[in-house]
Chains A and B, each alone.
Chain A
């Protein structure tokens, strides 16, 4: 998984609670991404980061925020979890050439 870890790997939470997912990389790459994967929608970009403290929105950013205080860590926060945010969340990092993206193992989140 290209030196990418995600934590937790599985989480069940209740509607209305905040949730933070963590992505950690050991490759020292500049770009990091958060995607969600849902049946019928495929993989969709939530937010991405192009450097420490530099982030931008993706296609489905509503209800999510991100932070990156260190090169190796990219956090995704669900401010108040809803059932529509039940999904599998993948972190990705850019490759050596800056265009290839490598994915982590995923976090399976269930909001009840």
Chain B
């Protein structure tokens, strides 16, 4: 079992819809969780990070962690075509990141 797992997608939504992305993880050690966005042929861009259970909001983005279920989520409200990218979740334990494989998202105008 991989330490961090993501559905590869692609996930296709109409513009304005809510994008819902999920990851599961297997290690229970104290750790941070991060979401990155990666456009084609670019480096990953940090969107959000959190270490506690519950929700964290930043503009149109909400990150959610459920440590009891080992489940992390990212929601994107009012999605735009510019949100079309691959979204990577990662756990950070001791300054080392373990990534999921990424979910490709396509927001159609």
Contacts and interface: CB of A to CB of B under 8 A. Distances in A.
A90 to B, nearest CB: 6
Nearest to A104: B43
Nearest to A50: B95
A43 B43 contact: no
Contacts of A100: 34, 46, 49
A101 B46 CA distance: 7
Nearest to A6: B43
A50 B42 CA distance: 25
Interface string B73-109: 0000000000000001010100111111110000000
Contacts of B88: 42-43
Contacts of B42: 105-106
B101 A103 contact: no
A19 B52 CA distance: 41
Contacts of B101: 40-42
Contacts of B36: 103
B54 interface: no
B6 to A, nearest CB: 8
Contacts of A90: 43-44
Given A45-B97, A90-B44, 18 more contacts: A1-B43, A35-B97, A41-B101, A42-B88, A42-B99, A42-B102, A43-B88, A43-B90, A43-B97, A48-B96, A58-B96, A59-B98, A99-B32, A99-B92, A100-B49, A103-B43, A103-B46, A104-B43
17 contacts: A1-B43, A31-B95, A43-B88, A43-B90, A43-B99, A45-B96, A48-B96, A59-B98, A92-B97, A94-B95, A99-B32, A99-B49, A103-B46, A104-B43, A105-B43, A106-B42, A106-B43
